Structure formats: C-alpha cells, structure tokens
Structure 1
C-alpha cells in the first residue's frame, strides 16, 4: 500500500475557490479503482492549512489517479490558491 500526505497552505481569500475544486475531486477519487482512503482535514490551530491523506493499493492506481481531470485542474490552480508550496510525503506500507 502507498500512502500520500499532501499539505496545502491556502490563501485566506482563495479558501472557497480551493474547496470548490477539491470537494468534487474527493468524491470522484473515492470511486477510483485502487483508492483505499482519500480524506481531507483542516488544522484546528492554523486556518486554511489542509492535509489530504491518501491510501492507494499500488503505484499503478496513483499513476491512473494523476490523470484525473479534476486533479489536473486543481494542480493547475494551486499557484493561485497557495500561500506556500504544497508539501508531499509518500511512504509505502507492506501489508
């Protein structure tokens, strides 16, 4: 299993735009083959700091997910939305 943690730092005035793009992405991704978990959380201490936790069956599932038009759309807008660069942490967990 592959685990991805994506840390998003969103500008206050772009919060609603970010959420409008990411909520449909979450719904779409959860239907993808190989997606075991895809959840977004917001810090209770730092407004507009979000963490996406993703669990994937394998790398092939991630590669296919990376072609999702909603994900491509979100990444195309992140420079506009972001207070600072998105951080990605990728780990592998043997089952």
Structure 2
C-alpha cells in the first residue's frame, strides 16, 4: 500500500510569491522521482497564505531518498524563515471503508 501525506504550510504574507515559486520547482523535480506517485501543492481559497502539499509515495524508501535530494535541500534553504509556524504533517491511514 502506498503512503499518503499532507503537509500544511502557513506562510508569512510578504514571502508568499517567492515561496509559491519554490514549491513549483520542488513539485516539478519531485514528480520525476521513481517512487513519487503524487506530489502537488495547492493554495487555500479560504486562507490565502496557506499552501497544502499532497503527497503519495510508493514506500518509505522513496520518501527517504526524496529527503536526500539536493533540490529538497535547496527548497528548504529558499523557504527558510518563510513559515509562521512549523508545517503540520499528517501521514494518512485509510479508514477501511
């Protein structure tokens, strides 16, 4: 079974435009990874300074490899100090319905 993750980022208003560009680059690069089944960023309609990342990975090894990519380190450098609070990460489990 694949691994589903959502991550909510509350972004400083004055950093929003640059952070969106950083997410676009990160998504494009990550989608090329073999184990990345889905990697999409969305801006909240209700909360204009919130970005939600929706990820689906083949397995934990794919996630571990992703976190070691140079472009992930570059993304983290680009967005350093741009978040109001630490990102909220939710690793999802199916309800079995």
TM-score normalized by structure 1? Answer: 0.88
Q: 1:92 to 1:35 in 2, by over 3 A?
A: farther
Structure 1 vs Structure 2 CA RMSD: 1.4
Please tell me whether residue 28 in structure 1 is matched to residue 29 in structure 2.
Answer: yes
Unaligned runs of 5+ in 1: none
Cα shift at 1:77 = 4.4
Unaligned runs of 5+ in 2: none
Which residue is equivalent to 1:71? 72
Residue correspondence of structure 1 range 56-95 to structure 2 within 5 A: 56-92=57-93
The total of aligned residue pairs comes to: 93
Q: Going by fraction, where is strand more abundant, 1 or 2? A: 1
Cα shift at 1:20 = 2.1
